[in-house]
Structure 1
Amino acid sequence: MSFTLRQLRYFLAVAEGGTVSGAAQSLAVSQSAVTESIKALELDLGVQLFERRRRGLAVTQQGQQFYRHATRILSAVSDARQSFADDAVATTGRLNLGVTALVAGYVLPDVLARYRRAHPAIELRAIEDSAEYLEHLLVGGELDVAILEVSSLRDHAALQVEVFERSPYKLWLPLGHRLTESEVVDVAEIGREKLIVLTTDDAEAGAERVLAELGARPEVGFRTRSVEAVRSLVATGAGVALLPDLVYRPWSLEGDRIENRRVTGAVPEARVGIAWRRGSVVQPAARDLIAMARLRTSMRPR
């Protein structure tokens, strides 16, 4: 028996939502349909994709590996469908693209891989820099588009922005931490922990916004520009972290498990979007990248 595209969609919905009930609701199907689909997928693959817990499901290491394959498969299927809607004449030209560091690591590879397959004739020039500098280049006409966390932008009047990724902040915890006993952590508990702070892009400012909104003031234990350092420090019990779910992975480089939990209150989101100069003529090369970013949104389970 071979797995189906439907099984892949159901798997991604459970992996990203953490519960069968939530996945079923987002997919508009019954919980039993999702459960049977996951069981059949695990039987077909011969591995356990989820750890069954009292309050939901956690992706196993094998499940995390399969998650990457599943997203690529569905992305390729989407590309195949999109190819019939594209113009018969290949788009040519040059695209000057800017990205920030976190975007480069967690969003750009998927968008760019599909863009290159669809438009191999485009000469692509990409640079990575701070959001402030990329905004300067956009306004000056030196970049066609930039993909970044849009809350970093200052001159909204000069830029057109389209958000295609919304990622809530969640609390990262080491395996066995006392706060992992709850699916949702009370914000007062965060104030009793040491915080590991990521300083790349807008991550530190974003964490500060979340804490200010929720009224928590934890002690900062360490600041770093490395996401992998955050993972390792959290996994070994040096502290907890508050980061967008977009960058969460359940394993450190050393193979230690990292848990994540929702936080009580109206938690702000990180918003990743694509920006270009307002009023400018969007060239076909840039227009098609914007379309690819929109397609990423449609590929993610809601």
Structure 2
Amino acid sequence: MNITFRQMRYFIAVAEIRSISGGAASVGISQSAVTDAIRFIEAELDCEMFARHARGVVLTREGQQFLRHARKIVEAMNDIRGGVGHESASVGGRLMVGATPTVTGYFLPDLLARYRQALPDVQVVIVEEKSDYVEHLLVNGELDLAILVVPGLTRPEALDHDVLLRSEMRVWMAPAHRLSNQDSFSLAELADEPLIDINREELQLVSNAVWARQPVHRRPAYRSASVEAIRGLVGTNAGLAILPDLLYRPWSLDGDRILAKRSRDPLPTVDIGLVWRRLSRHSEAAELFMEAARGKRTMRGKQG
């Protein structure tokens, strides 16, 4: 049997939450990856694990049997990874993590807080640079890990990655905007609207892809690297912005309200990924950081 430990964890998450999307969110991985894992398990065992319905999924009889076995295996693996007599040992050392400004501002703080609380003896050094330079440092072995916007990696032959967060793009506007009473609209309706572009290289690829297949063209009115500046401009009805939910806040610094609306046209997502050098061997501190980033709450730290 070729079912992996990771696939079992995805299966358990879906079984407990009774939803593929909810299970994917709980383990911090893409819904497609969870779906692929379940399909692999079903193909490997030649039976259906879940019955699908409009509100989610429920376990079949075979699924319930597999769940019992999967939980025992995962619990046993966690015990092995903890190690007999190792629970009280403190993991130390230094961990070098690369990131871009978008990641450090809107994704890293909560992750770092949880990691430092569990592993206070690990010195985490964050190196904030442009995406291509972070990749360069990873390939050279100067960084242990990185969290970047993916896809768009310039060295895919040398790097591996896992998607941690998939953030949808929405249209930001002020309540006073003429389209604010609509729940959604097409990009064609925005053709004559002044648009505010974000001037951050890690988001530019996705921003360009929004309009790449559209018969209409955007009319950029402003361009800024500051998300707060963009919020301020949108809040005062100076224009619209198409940005990921990751960056969305309902208010500008001056207290102006900002709405986020869906587009009826398919838009690309902004994917935040955990990136590492292919075939590299990770320290225990790095392995535990990877677990934390993937949403696994099994970190071993100092015992009180």
Question: Do both proteins adopt the same fold according to a TM-score greater than 0.5, normalized to the shorter chain?
Answer: yes
Which residue of the partner structure matches residue 173 of structure 1? 173
Q: What is the aligned partner in structure 2 of residue 185 from structure 1?
A: 185
Q: Alignment partner of 2:151: what SS?
A: helix
- Distance in 2 (alpha carbons) for counterparts of 1:198 and 1:27: 39
| Distance across 2 between alignment mates of 1:195 and 1:202 | 19
Q: CA deviation at 1:286?
A: 1.0
Q: 1:101 to 1:25 in 2, by over 3 A?
A: farther
Cα gap change, 1:27 to 1:228, in 2 (>3 Å)? farther
**AA matched with 2:242:** L
How far 1:294 sits from its partner (Å)?
A: 0.9
> CA offset at residue 181 of structure 1?
1.6
Counterparts of 1:203 and 1:137, CA distance in 2: 20
Counterpart of 1:212 in structure 2 is 212
Instruction: Give the greater-gyration-radius structure (CA).
Output: 2
Q: Which runs of 5+ in 2 are unaligned?
A: 1-21, 26-53, 59-77, 298-304
Q: Distance in 2 between matches of 1:282 and 1:215?
A: 47
| 2:99 is equivalent to residue 94 of structure 1 | no
Distance (Å, rounded) in 1 between the aligned partners of 2:108 and 2:296: 10
Greater fraction helix: 1
Q: How many residues align?
A: 223
Task: Output aligned runs, 1:105-254, within 5 Å.
Answer: 105-254=105-254
> What percent of counterpart residues are identical?
40
Rounded Cα–Cα distance in structure 1 between residues aligned with 2:153 and 2:169: 19
Q: Compute the TM-score of the two structures, normalised by the length of structure 1.
A: 0.69
**C-alpha root-mean-square deviation of aligned residues, in Å?**
2.6
Q: Aligned in 2, Cα 1:136/1:292: closer, same or farther, shift over 3 Å?
A: same
Change (3 A) 1:156 1:102: same
Residue 213 of structure 1 deviates from its aligned partner by 3.3
**Distance in 1 between residues matched to 2:296 and 2:169, nearest whole Å:** 20
Alpha-carbon shift at residue 108 of structure 1 (Å): 0.3
Structure 1 residue aligned with 2:8 = none
Report which stretch shifted further, 244-253 or 194-203. Answer: 194-203
What does 1:22-33 correspond to in 2, within 5 Å? Answer: 25=55
Cα distance, 1:215–1:247 mapped onto 2, change above 3 Å = farther
> Structure 1 residues 229, 145: CA separation in 2 closer, same or farther (over 3 Å shift)?
same
Whichever residue aligns with residue 284 of structure 1, its letter is E
Compared CA separation, residues 171 and 27, structure 1 to 2 (3 A): farther
The residue that corresponds to 1:277 in the other structure is: 277
Q: Deviations over 1:213-239 (max 9, x none)?
A: 344412110111100000000111111
Deviation at 1:176?
2.4
SS in 1 for 2:180: helix
Distance across 1 between alignment mates of 2:98 and 2:158: 16
**TM-score, reference length from structure 2:** 0.68
Q: Deviations over 1:18-46 (max 9, x none)?
A: xxxxxx95799xxxxxxxxxxxxxxxxxx
Distance apart, 1:127 and its partner CA: 1.1
1:267 is aligned to 267
Taking structure 1 as reference, are residues 26 and 248 closer, same or farther at Cα in structure 2, changes over 3 Å only?
A: farther
Q: CA deviation at 1:159?
A: 0.5
Matches of 2:273 and 2:234, distance apart in 1: 28
3-state DSSP of counterpart to 2:213 = helix
Tell me, yes or no, if the aligned pair for 1:101 and 1:201 is still in contact at 8 Å: no
Query: Once the 2 structures are TM-superposed, how far is the Cα of residue 182 of structure 1 from its aligned partner?
Result: 1.6
